[in-house]
Amino acid sequence: MVPAVSQQLRVLPGEFVVEHLGDGAPAPDGEWLALVRAPEGLTVIRPARPDERDRWTAFYGGDTAHAVDVPGMLAALLAPLAADGIPVFVASTFHADVVLVPSERVAAARAALRTAGHIIA
């Protein structure tokens, strides 16, 4: 069971794309929201260009910053989204989480998160 952890979220401006760059790829120049290097390569979350599809909208929990050892913070966001069948991509920071949802599902994501007790600024 997911503990009830109400969080203050905000939607980051703009839309993003998630892309995978192969093993050993250098960090890209320009703007990006997050970079994660794993054994299989580099994942980049960056602002979407006008011609790109598969856009994501980002909810950021930084207004309810927490230590890395606080249990249930991310689960409290993901559980209501999963229950409504909304796909997510997540990047976590030291203090908070960035939860991306497909942009065409942002209204449903807002509703699911609000129903679960979260506040969206």
Answer whether residue 1 is part of any domain. no
On whether residue 3 sits in a domain, the answer given is no
- Measured CA to CA, the distance from residue 58 to residue 12 in angstroms comes to 6
Is 2 a member of any domain? no
Asked if the structure places residue 109 within a domain, the reply is yes
Domain total for the chain?
1
- For residue 104, give both structure tokens: 């065409």
Residue ranges making up the domain that contains 46: 8-120
pLDDT tens per residue across span 29-80: 989 999 999 988 999 999 999 999 999 999 998 777 777 777 888 999 999 9
- Amino acid 1: pLDDT: 47
Assigned domain for 107 exists? yes
Q: Is residue 98 part of a domain?
A: yes
CATH number for 65: 3.30.2130.10
Enumerate the β-bridge partners of residue 120.
9
Q: What percent of the chain has pLDDT over 90?
A: 69
Q: Is the pLDDT of residue 2 over 80?
A: no
Asked whether residue 42 is domain-assigned, the answer is: yes
